[in-house]
Amino acid sequence: MNKQVLLGVCGSIAAYKAADIARGLMREGLNVRVVMTTHAMQMIAPATFAALTGNPVLIDAFDEPVAGQIAHIQWAQEADLILIAPATAHTLAKLAHGLADDMLTTLALATTAPLYIAPAMNPAMWSHPATQHNVQILTERGAQFIPPAFGIMACGDEGWGKLAEVEAIVQHVAGAVLCPKDLQEVRVLITAGPTYEPIDPVRFVGNRSSGKMGYAIAQAARERGAEVTLISGPVSLPAPAGVEVIFTQTADQMLTAVQSHFEACDVFVAAAAVADYKPAQPLSSKRKRDSKLWALEMVPNPDIVATVAAHKGNRYIVGFAAETDKVVENALHKLKKKGLDLIAANDVSAPGRGFEVDTNQLTLFFANGIARELPLMSKRETAHALWDAILEGRHAK
């Protein structure tokens, strides 16, 4: 039997995108049932979802499409996951306080299925303390948020409040429903993104890492049931749903954060592109432009993965080797020198791999000498393939 996703649609201007979400979930092999609020019907017709999904659409709390069944109980019990997208501020408030005055909120109160929420609203409404308090309540209760994106709203305002990208929502939900839960009770620590090493208050030394690979690894681990802590450098990415994110700027800050969480983890994946060097003497004020040569003295940054790997105990430690030449030789050297269990190597000079793109191609080297080359694929797919290899390596260790 196909997995069931119950899609709740609220009265946001983004309600029309819910049709694409429903279609995307169905392409993943999921059966989609739609529940709409009365305000959502002002934005998109129920007939649209009925035609797309082949299922009746529920709106009123007393809708009973099948005689002899109590719909809000039947659908609540049969759902493998509930997704509310778009979710309005009003619906968030009702969910947070346990109100059940329509079919959607009644189903949400009657189900034990995971609840995923993709909000969409005006930036002022999203940032309002009442809304953020309701988000906190729902998060503490176990709801998984797919955060809104930054952009220009229908009203012309700009800020955080746009519905997340349809494909991102589909991937979050499909992953949560379809992925094997083979990382349950596993505590995972991941680093991602670049580090910025200050030269003066307005300049820094950094690199081109977008953080996309590390964030995909974190999301994949969460989808598979892990408890995930992500220590991130400065990136422009939404936090992965259900993942604790700790933001840092410099390599020293990232090392401190890793050390404070390392003892509690079972697996550490060092995917961050940590700057190898930093300015020896950062300036306290901006250096003004002149015609003189400016020589910048650089000193080595701490090697985060090597530092903690020296005390790894029973933990499984994965490193990354982003190289432009001698990829295999350099990766194997790092694997041995740093005492890793697995290293993921890639040639970042090759098209479609490494920094700032949505695809990657890794070659995995295990400490026991086994190597495995992964094909070029999306970073989401790469992340799941990496977790397959990590699980294999942990079992063989």
Give the number of other CB atoms < 10 A from CB of residue 95.
Answer: 24
What is the rounded CA–CA span in Å between residue 127 and residue 116? 19
Residue 66's pLDDT is what? 65
| Percent of residues, the chain, with pLDDT higher than 70 | 99
Give one DSSP letter per residue of 73-90, joined into a string. Answer: HHHHHH-SEEEEEEE-HH
Q: Which residues contact 305 (CB under 8 A, 6 or more apart)?
A: 268, 270, 317, 319, 338, 340
Residue 291's pLDDT is what? 85
**Residue that has been written with the tokens 């955060």 in this structure:** 147
Q: Helices 212-223 and 379-396 meet at what angle, rounded to 10? A: 60
Residue 72's pLDDT is what? 77
Domain 187-282+293-396: homologous superfamily in CATH: CoaB-like (3.40.50.10300)
The string of pLDDT tens digits covering residues 325-373 is 998 999 999 999 999 999 999 888 888 777 878 899 999 999 988 899 9
The string of pLDDT tens digits covering residues 82-110 is 999 999 999 999 999 999 999 999 999 99
CA atoms within 13 A on the CB side of 52: 24
Residue 237's pLDDT is what? 86
- How far the first Cα of the chain sits from its last, in Å, is 36
The candidate with the shortest Cα–Cα distance to 385, out of 359, 350, 367, is 359
Question: Cα 34–105–55 angle (5° rounding)?
Answer: 15
Residue 249's pLDDT is what? 97
Residue 1's pLDDT is what? 55
Residue ranges, CATH 3.40.50.1950, the chain: 4-178
Instruction: Say which CATH topology domain 4-178 has.
Output: Rossmann fold (3.40.50)
Residue 317's pLDDT is what? 97
Mean pLDDT of 26-43: 95
Residue 68's pLDDT is what? 58
Residue 231's pLDDT is what? 98
Dihedral of alpha carbons 11, 14, 20, 26, sign: negative
Question: Which residue(s) pair with 184 in the sheet?
Answer: none
What is the rounded CA–CA span in Å between residue 143 and residue 136? 9
| Percent of residues, the chain, with pLDDT higher than 90 | 75
What is the rounded CA–CA span in Å between residue 324 and residue 198? 25
Question: Which residue(s) pair with 81 in the sheet?
Answer: 5
Residue 356's pLDDT is what? 78
Higher-confidence residue of 353 and 23: namely 23
Q: Which residues contact 160 (CB under 8 A, 6 or more apart)?
A: 123, 126, 127, 147, 148, 149, 150
Residue 155's pLDDT is what? 83
The model's confidence at residue 67, banded by pLDDT at 50, 70 and 90, is: low
Checking if the pLDDT of 323 tops 70, the result is yes
Checking if the pLDDT of 260 tops 90, the result is yes
Tokens representing 68? 């002899």
One-letter amino acid at 169 equals I
390 near 379, Cβ under 8 Å? no
The model's confidence at residue 78, banded by pLDDT at 50, 70 and 90, is: very high
Average pLDDT, the chain: 92
The string of pLDDT tens digits covering residues 158-214 is 899 999 999 889 988 988 888 888 999 999 999 999 999 999 999 999 998 999 999
The string of pLDDT tens digits covering residues 114-173 is 999 999 999 999 999 999 999 999 988 989 899 898 888 888 888 999 999 998 899 889
| Beta pairing, strands 197-200 & 203-205 | antiparallel
Residue ranges, CATH 3.40.50.10300, the chain: 187-282+293-396
Q: Which residues are catalytic?
A: 155
Looking at 29-158, list the stretches that DSSP marks H as alpha helix, in order from N- to C-terminal side. 46-53, 71-78, 89-96, 103-110, 123-127, 129-140
Residue 71's pLDDT is what? 75
One-letter amino acid at 55 equals N
